[in-house]
Structure 1
Amino acid sequence: MAGPLAVVAPLTGPRGRWGRLFPADLLEHPAVTVFDDAADPERSIALARQIAATAGIRAVAGHFSSEAAAGALPVYRRAGIPVAFPLSSAPGVTREHLSPEPGIIAPMPDNVEQAATLWRSAGGAGTYAWAGASATGLAVAWADLGGQLRPAVTEILAEPGVTTLVVLGTLTDAERALAVVAASGRRLRVVLSDDSWVGSAAWEGLTPEVVTTRPDPAVLVEQCARHMLEAVQEGLTGAEIVSLWARRHGIAHWEKPQPIGVRP
């Protein structure tokens, strides 16, 4: 019989490092059933349907991709299964934060808030950004603020007088961008969003600044997962799950994100 808490995370594939944000002791807990979505939104949504049809599962944590979370949310709502989406930044998901039916926790600042934080930190108007293929929401929010977008890092490096590069996307996107910068021999400030940073190692010869949120993504993942594990162990209802979250953290939503300089 499946453990009552389903954890859906990218344990393999291009974003496998994100899956390791879940503490190993939690993934190995007998009350936890782990599902690997390999960072594939379609697979992640299919897993949500599988979970909803599986006897014994009473709560879910994960579905990191905003696209996956948006697709999984109606599945769990129909099934009446409480769910925590620790890292989804899609406004359609984040606005459901602390919804008591069926019990939804979605504390990540949305794309607009994240883009605004990057904007303030990177210098505002005239700052150039390159967006990976999965960062559509952030890219739209960045452009709406008046930020400049270019389809290739090389085009940004060719701009006269450019001193800052903003990378919107995954850690893999960041590594690609930083490799281009390193190959060019240029010295410039590289600002990365949360999604570009998690799981990173030090990059030889480059010290990118990371604009992260409070709490950072790793904290959100662990807090959400442990909260939902406690919920299934205590037999909490959806309304009790969100009420406990609000009491425990003292606020209904996380504080507005602030720029923090982080060195990988």
Structure 2
Amino acid sequence: MTDIEARIDTSRPHTARIWNYWTGGKDNYPVDREAGDRIRELHPGIGAYARADRLFLGRAVRHLAQEAGIRQFLDIGTGLPSADNTHEVAQRVAPDARVVYVDNDPLVLAHARALLVGTPEGRTDYLDADLRDVDTILEAAARTLDLDRPVGLMLLGVVIFVEDDAESYAVVRRLLDALAPGSHLVLSHTVVHPSMPDVDAAVAFWNENGTPRLTQRTPEAVTRYFDGLELLDPGVVPCSQWRPDAPADPVAMYGGVGRKP
């Protein structure tokens, strides 16, 4: 048994594996499916949220590669591989794009090395680190990315795992401060919203039964992560409604894209 395999806990549901289950993947265990079904009973739209977040990633990365000329991506909180991962979207536009994935979940890392394979012209790498380990992430990412050139910083559904508000804003700021002007932040976050009370029930169930715990924030609090950046239209909105390819219903996962001046 490898060190990574030894770290995989199949006795408790894990967010990455449940997310994989909701999006139709097979990299999950009975405990994850049971918890995922219970959460879906409390909040029937949760599967749509997971899919909306994945589609938001694709549209944001496509914009950065096509319109902003970004050729480097730092994707923290990667999650389990599925269709249209960051490197696949970016390298369809620019085969020479470089992507560094960061996650601290052992199952994610085990699958990443097998499935997240980039183009011959580009480069793809994987780091075992926590979002809070900013210095470790930046030092290791610099072996693949040129941090003196613009980078697309991808933080989709990961800042929710930093419970303390001040710490969460500080982590994002430290990452952005290390990146060159012209870099972009792509961030999504579960929100608390008075029109979606079933989300609160689902989050409460998760925090009692799953790992790691997550924190909801208001749409206004999510917008604060973009302070000091040039926020792209349409701003911080339900991620299903960020430049959608077709009209879409709102979800309780909000997202936005901002450019570092």
TM-score bracket relative to the smaller structure: 0.3 to 0.5
TM-score (norm 1): 0.39
TM-score (norm 2): 0.39
Computing the radius of gyration over CA atoms, which structure comes out larger, 1 or 2? 1
